[in-house]
């Protein structure tokens, strides 16, 4: 089953290649969506794909790249509408 989730990641997640690493991982996994930095120092992302694959990227988000220090991850389900094309960094 395909699912879509909105994710907000907190901690030391900017300036540590979190967006680029997320892009690389999501692209490798065949997910659709996007990732971006927020003014409050967090990172937001949308992932769309098979439920098991989305669960794998969510597990990865709790750690992120080597220099990241994730303090929290909030996940909210979204309606899947098939408008997403590929994965991008915003």
- Residues identified as active-site: 19, 37
Q: Are 87 and 34 in contact (CB under 8 A)?
A: yes
Question: Could you give the CA distance from residue 22 to residue 9 in angstroms, rounded to a whole number?
Answer: 11
Edge-first strand listing for the sheet containing 87-89: 69-78, 2-12, 43-50, 32-37, 87-89
Question: Could you give the CA distance from residue 84 to residue 52 in angstroms, rounded to a whole number?
Answer: 19
């Amino acid at each position: 089953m395909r699912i879509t989730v909105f994710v907000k990641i907190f901690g030391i997640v900017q300036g540590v290649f979190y967006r680029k690493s997320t892009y690389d991982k999501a692209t490798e996994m065949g997910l659709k969506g996007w990732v971006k930095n927020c003014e409050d120092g967090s990172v937001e992302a949308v992932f769309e794909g098979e439920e098991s694959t989305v669960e794998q990227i969510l597990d990865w988000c709790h750690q992120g790249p080597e220099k990241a220090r994730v303090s929290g991850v909030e996940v909210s389900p979204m309606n899947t509408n098939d408008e997403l094309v590929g994965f991008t960094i915003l």
